[in-house]
Structure 1
Amino acid sequence: MASGDPEIEIGQRDQAIMTVMWRLRLRIGEIAALRLEDIDWRRGELIIRGKDPRCGRLPLPSDVGRVIVSYLTGWRPETDARHVFVCAKAPPGPMFRNTVTNVVARVARRAGLGVVHAHRLRQCGHRHAQRRGLPRRDQPTGE
């Protein structure tokens, strides 16, 4: 999916972000807020912190889980930050919404797509899922 270089740390992170955004149709704030403890590997679920104080659960498809595991075990810099996705620049800390937006823009440019904003990618993910018969995911389901 992503055109980032998977041989370097930032490419693996960007690939994981793009995969999570495309497959799970998450908002940039939801991706930035995703914490290590939000991944329930045994149940195959993610806890999503939405726009409001509510949290919800989403199934974690195996392909998305594999990309996250690859990033976490091989390329994520050492840090005390509990966020899944961290900045590559020292000191590595949690990513903010604007950093996730910049990842989407950078990957789109590298792929020759021009300017693509994160919201547009998410909308395309919704349309793709609808064509495949999957339900629209506007908000995570309540716990």
Structure 2
Amino acid sequence: VGRANDLKGSGMHLREEDEANDRVRLEYLDEYGRPMTAKEAFRRQCHNFHGKGPSKRVLEKRMRRFEEERRVAKAHSRDTPLQMMSTLQHVQQLTQEPFVRLSGHSTLREEVIARAGALAAEQSGEGASPGGKQPRTR
């Protein structure tokens, strides 16, 4: 009764247990050297077998996906698209505190601007001029 009886007496049920230990992994790579999914590999084999390639739209979509992955990999992995992490780290360096206050941003902004001006003056070796403006030099 059922398909389970097809394996009885043939030794196939023993063979399935052996195959669990002897697995071979086929890894297909696309034209960019990235591993392909099973679906992508199957489609590629079908295109090769039938002698027809993928459509122009599918090729463009694949190219866009590759460029997007490359752009994401190139971007700094710890930072967000708005560069918030680097901004927060910069504020931490300026305030010399291991935290960043997220409320009361107006006082924080004034404090950061004041410390940034003091830090810039220390690095240039000059005192801050009146009015916070640097004299023009040629």
TM-score range, shorter chain: under 0.3
TM-score (ref. length: structure 1): 0.23
Question: Which fold has the larger relative contact order, with Cα–Cα distance below 8 Å and residues 6 or more apart in sequence?
Answer: 1
Task: Please tell me whether Structure 1 or Structure 2 has the larger radius of gyration of its CA atoms.
Answer: 2
More helix by share: 2
